[in-house]
Amino acid sequence: MAIGIEKLLTSKEVGEVLGVHPKVAERMAKRGELPGLKVGRFWRYRASALDGWINSRLQSESPTVPQGNSI
C-alpha cells in the first residue's frame, strides 16, 4: 500500500502565495493563526491545509454590498 506524502511549502513560498513577508507567515504559524509545523528550526506548511485555511477565511467573510444612490 503506497502512502502519498504531500510536499511541504517553505515560508518563502507561503509568503508569495499570501502576499506577505516570510517572517509574517512564520509569526502567524507560531501564534496558531496559520496552519504550519516546525521541522527543526524551519516552518513548513501543507499546501492542502493552507488551501483549506484560505477557503475558510473566504467563507467567514460576509460579503459587503456597496451602498449607493439609485438614479
Q: Where do the domains of the chain lie?
A: 8-56
- Written as nine digits, the cell of 63 is 460579503
* Predicted pLDDT at 60: 84
Residues 6+ apart with CB under 8 A from 23: 11
Average pLDDT, the chain: 88
Q: Give 19's pLDDT tier (boundaries 50, 70, 90).
A: very high
Residues 6+ apart with CB under 8 A from 44: 8, 9, 10, 36, 37, 38
- Closest to 53 in 3D by CA, of 65, 36, 67: 36
Predicted TM-score (pTM) of this structure: 0.76
